[in-house]
Amino acid sequence: MKQTRPYALRLSGLLAAFALLGGCATPQPDCASPQSRNLDTAIDQVQAALSAGCEAYYDRYFDDLLTTAEGDPKPENRRAFSEFLLWSTDRGLLSKRQAEHYYNRYFNVKFMSLRSDYNNCAHACPNKQKVLFDMERELSDKERGLLKVTEDSNAYYRADRLFKEVELVLEATCKACAAR
Amino acid sequence: MNDETMRILSAAIGLAAVFATSTAAADTPTIRLFPTTVVEDLRQTGNVARDMETGLQEVIGKLDQQQRLYVESKCEGAENDPGCQRLARQIGASYLEMLTIMEERLPDMEHTVNNTRRSLERGLRNELGKKMTPWTLQETLVGGSAGNAANKPSPTLRGRSGMRLSERFKQYYELVATSGSRGDQSLAVLASDIYLDMQETGVLIERTRQEIARATLMEQLNQSFGIITPEMIEVVGGVKTILFGDEQGEALVAGPPPGSIEPAYRSPLER
């Protein structure tokens, strides 16, 4: 009987600790898509969500922002996306390389699919079909970023021409590499 | 500061300026895709093609006239008529004449085309294939600033099948001969364009030579019977298309719509 009181005390202490822990548990963040049709407001909403623990949905948020920007295409949107990506690197959500990849894939004429450390004969030629397939997919992202979001038709048409030029030059170069 | 010191100082500044200029020039990527031999080969191929056209023009004109006369004389279906047989033999003789001219000229053509192809092949393999990564190749094609490149005229792309052969080589020669004023970006496209065309032309010439040998033998046999084969008409049509071009030219690729030329925003993330 002597031992019953401390045991009961210990048990009630444990229960109180559990209750406290339960009370401190972080509520699930609301990772819903931004509701605003205004890009700046949408970016604010996304930044708030990302800061509140929704970083796992980064890709979806980026896509949402592109959709929002498509509703009001203008050259200034390029800066808004650049600043959003820089903010993401500052917050440690993206590495600098990832941010560059996002930005250039959508808003630059050059193709990120062509990044390689090896020469064309050794790398691009044996994988020519894959390289061109990746470029084609990137071109559709550029169509979205350059044409539908920033209305930079000149840059998009240059990217389209660059794709055709790379296709032609690779065809000739790879034939020359193979000819021995 | 005396005069001597001033002279040494100005000489040093001059040297520094020269060094800076040469360093800047060295920094600019220069690709050697058109050595003088290529330019000379292209000129020669153009001349050979022109000679062949001149030689063939007359005989093809004669063939056209004879064929018209054959049709107008209602010889189709009346092959046994002596007059029609005579006409058919004349057409056959002109056809043989055309094949002989081609047979004489094609080896020269084949030689110069193959020379050009080989020189370009070496250049493409070394300069674009081995010295460049896909990224550096892209940067060469874009040329310095991607934004500015949008306003430059489109480089030449393939699709000259509807063009007179000599004119095609003349254009190549002119493009290459004035290539010094062009950026590396259009040189790479131009070299690729010409190389692929030379490869196709080489294969076509080889096949044509084989075909000529066969067609000559067939026609020599036909001569004794005075027959016009549909193949003859087809070959003449084909030769006309290759040499003098067809009427349906390739549709031009539409250029970009006119856009604003004010400098665009440049992100620090841009590569």
Distance CA B48, CA B113 (A): 10
Residues near A55 by Cβ (< 8 Å), separated by ≥ 6? A93
Cβ contacts of A100 on chain B, cutoff 8 Å: 269, 271
Among A79, A118, A120, whose Cβ lies nearest the Cβ of B128? A120
What pLDDT is recorded for position B28? 43
* Nearest-Cα residue of chain A relative to residue B131: A119
Residue type (1 letter), B48? V
Distance CA A1, CA B3 (A): 113
Cβ contacts of A161 on chain B, cutoff 8 Å: 154
What pLDDT is recorded for position A111? 97
What pLDDT is recorded for position B171? 74
Distance CA B143, CA A145 (A): 22
DSSP secondary structure letter of residue A148: I
Closest CA to B43 of B166, B195, B163: B166
* B189·A165 Cβ contact <8 A: yes
User: Residue B49 in 3-state DSSP?
Assistant: helix
Candidates B31, B116, B124, B253, partner chain A, best to mutate (most A CBs within 10 A) = B124
Q: What is the pLDDT along chain B (271 residues), one digit of tens a residue?
A: 444 444 443 444 333 333 333 333 344 446 778 888 888 888 888 888 888 888 888 888 898 898 899 888 888 777 778 888 888 888 888 888 888 888 888 888 888 889 889 989 999 999 999 999 999 999 999 985 444 444 444 445 555 555 667 777 777 777 777 665 555 557 899 899 889 988 888 888 888 888 788 877 777 777 666 666 676 777 777 777 666 665 444 444 444 455 544 566 788 888 7
Distance CA A80, CA B146 (A): 20
* Mean pLDDT across chain A: 89
Distance CA B46, CA B53 (A): 10
Lowest mean pLDDT across A27-31, A138-142, B87-91 = A27-31
What pLDDT is recorded for position A178? 95
- B40 vs A140, which has greater pLDDT? A140
Cβ contacts of B269 on chain A, cutoff 8 Å: 82, 85-86, 99-100, 103-104
B159 min Cα distance to partner chain A (Å): 12
What pLDDT is recorded for position A47? 96
Structure tokens at B66: 């004879």
Whether the CB-CB separation of B88 and B70 falls below 8 Å is answered with yes
Structure tokens at B219: 């026609």
- B71 vs A16, which has greater pLDDT? B71
Closest CA to B253 of B154, B122, B128: B154
Residues near B39 by Cβ (< 8 Å), separated by ≥ 6? B173, B176, B177
Distance CA B81, CA A47 (A): 93
Among A114, A161, A175, whose Cβ lies nearest the Cβ of B199? A175
Lowest mean pLDDT across A55-59, A149-153, A164-168, B116-120 = B116-120
* A103·B267 Cβ contact <8 A: yes
Rg (CA), chain A: 26
Q: Where are the alpha helices (DSSP H) in chain B?
A: 3-27, 36-72, 82-123, 134-142, 146-149, 165-177, 184-223, 230-244
* B192·A169 Cβ contact <8 A: yes
Q: What is the mean pLDDT of residues A25-54?
A: 90
Q: Please write the tens of the pLDDT for every residue from A66-106.
A: 999 999 999 999 999 999 999 999 999 999 999 999 999 99
Domain range annotation of chain A: 39-107, 112-178
Cβ contacts of B133 on chain A, cutoff 8 Å: 116-120, 123-124
- A112 vs B80, which has greater pLDDT? A112
Q: What is the complex's ipTM, to 2 decimals?
A: 0.81
- In the block, which residue shows the tokens 């000599």? B166
Closest CA to B188 of A134, A176, A111: A176
Whether the CB-CB separation of A139 and B160 falls below 8 Å is answered with no
Closest CA to A112 of A95, A126, A131, A96: A131
Q: What angle do CA A109, A37, A103 make, to 5 degrees?
A: 20
Among B120, B146, B196, whose Cβ lies nearest the Cβ of A109? B146
Rg (CA), chain B: 28
- In the block, which residue shows the tokens 């001569």? B223
Q: What is the mean pLDDT of residues A137-143?
A: 97
* A176·B125 Cβ contact <8 A: yes
* B269·A100 Cβ contact <8 A: yes
What pLDDT is recorded for position B172? 74
The 3 state secondary structure assigned to A55-81 is: HHHHHHHHHHHHHHHHCCCCCCHHHHH
Question: Above 50 in pLDDT, residue A2?
Answer: no
